[in-house]
Amino acid sequence: MKNFKNVTILDHPLISHKIAILRSVDTHTKDFRELVEEITMLLTYEAFKNVPTQEVEVQTPLEKCKQQMVAENSIAVVPVLRAGLGMVAGVHTLFPTAKVGHIGMYRDEQTLQPQEYYCKLPDGIEKMRAIVLDPMLATGGSASAAIDLLKSKGCKDIHQMSIIAAPEGVERLATAHPDVHIFVAVLDRCLNENGYILPGLGDAGDRLFGTK
């Protein structure tokens, strides 16, 4: 895969450790959900490095000081339904005031193309940084379509956060949206003939919600 300036792949032993457990067929729904939240927290730490900030004055027990804080109403997370919902709590643990929008996408099993079925976004999202949450970046179709939708709503500052990605999906998304910074916890080998990531972890939505 080419090197893209707008792609960050995290390389950290804690992430590797947690993803090893996440992948396992023996990891059940409760543990799977908690691991997704924990890995999302680590992704959030990286993705929030250059969020908009503002200077505030704080009274400590000893004196007043100037301090930088994340600017109010500057962040919105947008999970792609349904698997992206599993990442929201991980972001909110570190930054609980982030607004939340929702985009519903499903992948047509025959064409593998994304189909939109729902969109509800916070008011003023076009002035915020919108962070798309989708644990699996496979073909890149759903993520690219979600970002197209956000751009059509006026969003100009967009990030993408995924836990596991295939090279095909990263390349497609990075090429289609060079202005979007993509954060990925781990890059896997490839897609299979059905568009699933290998070695992957199966269907993230089913494993998060115990539906299969």
Cα angle at 113 between 110 and 114, to 5 degrees?
A: 125
Is 26 in the active site?
A: no
| Selected catalytic residue, list 97, 111, 123, 134 | 111
**Does residue 107 carry a catalytic annotation?**
yes
Catalytic residue among 40, 203, 207, 211: 203
Rounded distance, CA 80 to CA 133, Å? 6
Catalytic residue among 40, 107, 134, 179: 107
Six-digit token string for 6 = 């707008």
Alpha carbon of residue 56 to chain centroid: 29
DSSP 54-108: EEEEEE-SS-EEEEEEEPTT-EEEEEEETTTHHHHHHHHHH-TT-EE-EEEEEE-
- Is 139 part of the annotated catalytic residue set? no
Q: In terms of Cα–Cα distance, which of 137, 175, 185 is closest to 4? A: 175
Q: Give yes or no: 23 in active site.
A: no
Active-site annotation holder among 129, 188, 206, 211: 206
What SS3 state is found at 34?
Answer: helix
**Spatial distance between the Cα atoms of 142 and 123, rounded to a whole number of angstroms:** 23
SS3 156: coil
Residues forming the active site: 107, 111, 203, 206
